[in-house]
Amino acid sequence: MRHVGLLVLGSFINSLGTGLTAFGLAVIMLRAHGTASSVAVIQMSAFAPLVLLAPLAGVLADRYDRRLMMIIGDAGSVLGLGLILAALSSPRPSLAWICTGAVLSSCLAALTEPALRASVTDLVTEEDYVRSSGLLQLASAAKYLLAPAAAGFLMPLVGPRGLVLLDASTCLVTVACTMTVRRALAAGASQRAASQPGDDRDVMAGWRTITASPGLRALVVLMTLATLAIGVIQVLIKPILLPTVSTAEMGVVETVAATGMLVGAALVTAWKSAQPTTLLAAGLAGTGAAMALVPLGPGAWWVAACGFLTFACLPLSQAGAEVLVRTQVDNTRQARTWGTISLVTQMGYLVAYLCSGVLVDRVLQPLLESGQPLSTGLGAVVGTGPGRGAALLVGLMGAVMVLVALAVRLQRHKLDTPELK
């Protein structure tokens, strides 16, 4: 676990740096362009390459030294940050250049995630899979928990360019952490390459691995539904809160909700003896129940409490899913399988980002306005007026999550079967 601890430390520092840049760019784009769409374009520029290149990154991480893939990804992403720094030198930063830098940085950073997750299998025994998954969840939470507060404090002192420079320095620290464990990770690279059959070395190998296993296929479908639900709450939390609270209060509510990740990560590391399907079902059920409660109570602090429970349960389901993949997929195919799983499951986020706002604005919110069909029946339960359509959709997606948890429970024997070892 010592080597995993170093990788987790590097991931934590890198996640913190990523959050600093995201905060700084959002602020500077709003100041320069005055539109939310400029922020959304940057977010998509940073997110899309991570999803679309995940299968290719998985193939490379299985074929070559996973340590090398992580070093190239972390060090190479500094090139994109350099373009962003150059763009920020202008009084009115170019949105096109910032997006180009974000795309370049993300294209190289995409090499890191499949290699990092698969490297855990190289470094720990099966008994430590759950614990190591919890630590990785804790590391990834840094950009949600610590980065906003740290960036808010640092930005008046160092400006947005200073935040980007700090992000670049965190990439180099992450490279140093990865190089420290180079011997442990490099040892298995040649063995994995030699043991792979010729038709198992291409981009589609991860897809074939998933489709060959009914249990793994079911797991990917369930994970995609879960990311869709989480994407909905990420998009709609602000429309729910803004009609009733100030932006400062909204920031506090989001921070309180995000701290649930710490509790969830601690639960995962403590509950390491649990079966992965138990973790998955419990996490999905808890997340769904908390989301379903959102439209039933008034006030920002009700939303904060539900958000806290949502994010406290989420690491349980994520850890359970990770352990199921590690125990079902041979180590020689894990990185490319992770890459394909990331491509498929994170499409749920893209669907949520594209559709949830339109569904609320065009359908649910009008139906909950005074005098409309749902205002007297369902409106008496969830409320009417601004923000209630968004709250209703979050509640409905919570109910979907509970049904997904029930499906996991009913299909637990299929999901637990190590068919691909």
Q: Which helix (H) or strand (E) holds 311?
A: helix 300-328
Task: Spell out, as residue ranges, where the chain has pLDDT lower than 70.
Answer: 1-3, 30, 33-40, 121-122, 124-131, 133-134, 137-138, 141-145, 148-149, 182-203, 238, 242, 246-248, 250-251, 331-332, 334-335, 379, 416-421
Domains and CATH numbers, the chain: 1-187 (1.20.1250.20), 201-421 (1.20.1250.20)
Helix ranges (DSSP H) in 53-94 = 54-63, 66-88
The pLDDT of residue 395 is 92
pLDDT digits (tens, 9 = 90+) for 42-94: 777 887 788 788 778 877 877 777 778 888 888 888 999 999 999 888 877 88
Residue 411 backbone phi and psi in degrees, to 5: -105, 20
In tens, the pLDDT along 242-254 reads 677 765 676 677 7
| pTM, two decimal places | 0.67
Give me the residues paired with residue 59 across strands.
none
Distance, in Å, from the CA atom of 398 to the CA atom of 310, rounded to the nearest integer, reads: 10
Task: Round to whole Å and give the CA distance between 166 and 161.
Answer: 9
pLDDT at position 144 is 66
DSSP 368: T
d(CA 220, CA 226): 10
- Per-residue pLDDT at 202: 57
